[in-house]
Chains A and B, each alone.
Chain A
Amino acid sequence: ETGVTQTPRHLVMGMTNKKSLKCEQHLGHNAMYWYKQSAKKPLELMFVYNFKEQTENNSVPSRFSPECPNSSHLFLHLHTLQPEDSALYLCASSQASGRNTQYFGPGTRLTVL
């Protein structure tokens, strides 16, 4: 069990649905990250927030919309997704962005029908 939690753990949604993934860290960290892990592909960094400010958007389509209301919470809002967006979405946090160890949550397994 890590200090980073994610909900839901599994999500099935249609292409017209709107849903949100939630991440919460209890480690007192200031940086939070969203990653996507697709089958047979390397882990991809999607977004980075440092002290609630977005510092990285790794060419992610606009159907993924992150929100970081405070240093402990991170959301990923999903709308009009495609089947190829089905993947494991991992959240991580670190003391600050850059040269710090990242701690990962358990992930949300997303299936888009």
Chain B
Amino acid sequence: EDKVVQSPLSLVVHEGDTVTLNCSYEVTNFRSLLWYKQEKKAPTFLFMLTSSGIEKKSGRLSSILDKKELSSILNITATQTGDSAIYLCAVEEGTSYDKVIFGPGTSLSVIP
């Protein structure tokens, strides 16, 4: 059965800390891995990763995919209270049909 696992499920850090969120997957036909940030309601897109070993960066956030280990990490440096959110990892898989499997999310709380 296809699945996406994230760890930790929740995390509390102080402002300025660096955090690493983990995502691992087991899918039949991997196409890409996606990271989303969810605050209040709708998730907002962060990164799409398709190639192993290539880091994607956006400000203080960065992510990298390891296809050999079937995993990805999302790093956030110098965390701020505005980073508090649920971070969702999702994997697109399939051949002729779309299928996106989401992980349970990591709930990050950044305290002043």
Which residues from chain A sit less than 8 Å from chain B, CB to CB? 2, 31, 33, 41-45, 48, 50, 55-56, 58, 88, 90, 97-99, 101-107, 109
A-B contact count (CB 8 A): 61
Determine the chain B residues whose CB is within 8 A of the CB of A31 once the complex forms. 98
Q: Given A33-B100, A48-B97, list of 9 further CB < 8 A pairs? A: A42-B88, A42-B103, A43-B105, A45-B98, A45-B100, A56-B99, A99-B31, A99-B92, A104-B42
Q: How far is the CA of A76 from the CA of B6 in the complex (A)?
A: 30
Task: Looking at the assembled complex, report how far the CB atom of A85 sits from the nearest CB atom of chain B, in whole angstroms.
Answer: 18
Contact call B41/A41, Cβ cutoff below 8 A: no
Contact call B99/A107, Cβ cutoff below 8 A: no
Q: How far is the CA of A41 from the CA of B4 in the complex (A)?
A: 12
Determine the chain A residues whose CB is within 8 A of the CB of B101 once the complex forms. 42, 45
Task: Looking at the assembled complex, report how far the CB atom of A92 sits from the nearest CB atom of chain B, in whole angstroms.
Answer: 8
Contact call B104/A50, Cβ cutoff below 8 A: no
